Amino acid sequence: MTLYLRDDFAAAWSGSDPFERVERLEGEVFRELEARRTLRFELGGRSFFAKIHRGIGWWEIVENLLRGRLPVLGAENEWRAIERLKALGVDTMTAVAYGKRGLNPARQHSFIVTEDLVNTISLEDFCRDWPQQPPTVALKRALIERVAWISRQLHQNGVNHRDYYICHFLLDISAGVEALTAQTIKLSLIDLHRAQIRRKTPQRWIEKDLSGLYFSAMEIGLTRRDYLRFIRTYRQTSLRQALAEQGPLWRRLQRKADKLMARLKRKGDKIR
């Protein structure tokens, strides 16, 4: 068994089984499945998120392996990803409780509790009206460069997200949207339960992240110059060199994103 409780949770759950306490939590439920539950709750006047995993079963494990994917067995994945991002200087959630027990991977019981990132807004929502109400040039540049820097930090250090969309970047607006400047922006990357950590990120997973990111930003009014700014910051080189060395990659990512958007339009859905 593995268990971590921050002091406030150790005190609040003292004398009880943390696995039982987390199962009895009540609050706003965001996802309720047989094998997973996600909810927001309060403790000591503060807001937290809990993700509870109850084992995915052998069938899902085998199915993922047959498709060449490592299955997500429980909360350990997100716990490790949070620690990795913090080590890389990437803002993310703060874990306050984590537990895992059970040797059978198909029936493993685990949970993770994180602080609620209050006073934030997703980039998807923040940028939604940009086509009609553009931000200042300086703020847009700063956000693009920050997302590019985060992307580079992940991919250059063996991490890929697997659900890499702008809705999973939370922008701190605690001082008010009007007070946002290029110098004060803080972006936190969330929803890390499917993230993968290796010594080196495989190229196909880098492309999956980048094409997903591009796809999710296609309707917020970005210009060709904005995309080129992202490429230059992501590559940390001159734009001429970046395009000369990886021109086919960026064109391939654009085609993938265009196909995703076309398929979405046919189905009448929206970018999540």
Task: Read off the amino acid at residue 15.
Answer: G
Using CA atoms of 142, 204, 242, 231 in order, give the dihedral in degrees to the nearest 10. Answer: -20
Share of the chain above pLDDT 90, in %: 75
Query: Which range (85-99, 142-156, 246-260) has the least confidence?
Result: 246-260
Domain boundaries, the chain: 2-115, 120-267
Domain 120-267 CATH (choose: 3.40.640.10, 2.160.10.10, 1.10.150.240, 1.10.510.10): 1.10.510.10
Q: Is 191 marked active-site?
A: no
Q: Does domain 2-115 have CATH number 1.10.1060?
A: no
159-184 pLDDT, tens digit each: 999 999 999 999 999 999 888 888 88
| Residue with token string 């965001």 | 30
Given the residues 8, 163, 226, 258, the one annotated as active site: 163
| DSSP per residue, 194-217 | T-EE-SS--HHHHHHHHHHHHHHT
Q: Identify whether the C-beta of residue 271 lies closer than 8 Å to the C-beta of residue 165.
A: yes
215-254 pLDDT, tens digit each: 999 999 999 999 999 999 999 999 999 999 888 999 999 8
- For residue 257, CA distances in Å to 196, 211, 215 come to 22, 6, 5
Reported as half-sphere exposure (CB side, CA atoms, 13 A), residue 186 has a value of 15
- For residue 39, CA distances in Å to 19, 27, 30, 232 come to 15, 6, 5, 39
Residues 6+ apart with CB under 8 A from 45: none
The SS3 assignment for 169 reads strand
Q: How confident is the model at residue 9 (pLDDT cuts 50, 70, 90)?
A: very high
pLDDT at 268: 66
Q: Identify whether the C-beta of residue 227 lies closer than 8 Å to the C-beta of residue 141.
A: no
Residues 6+ apart with CB under 8 A from 254: 214
Residues 234, 221: Cα–Cα separation, whole Å: 20
Per the rule left: phi > 0, alpha: psi between -120 and 50, beta: everything else, 268 is left
pTM, to two decimals = 0.91
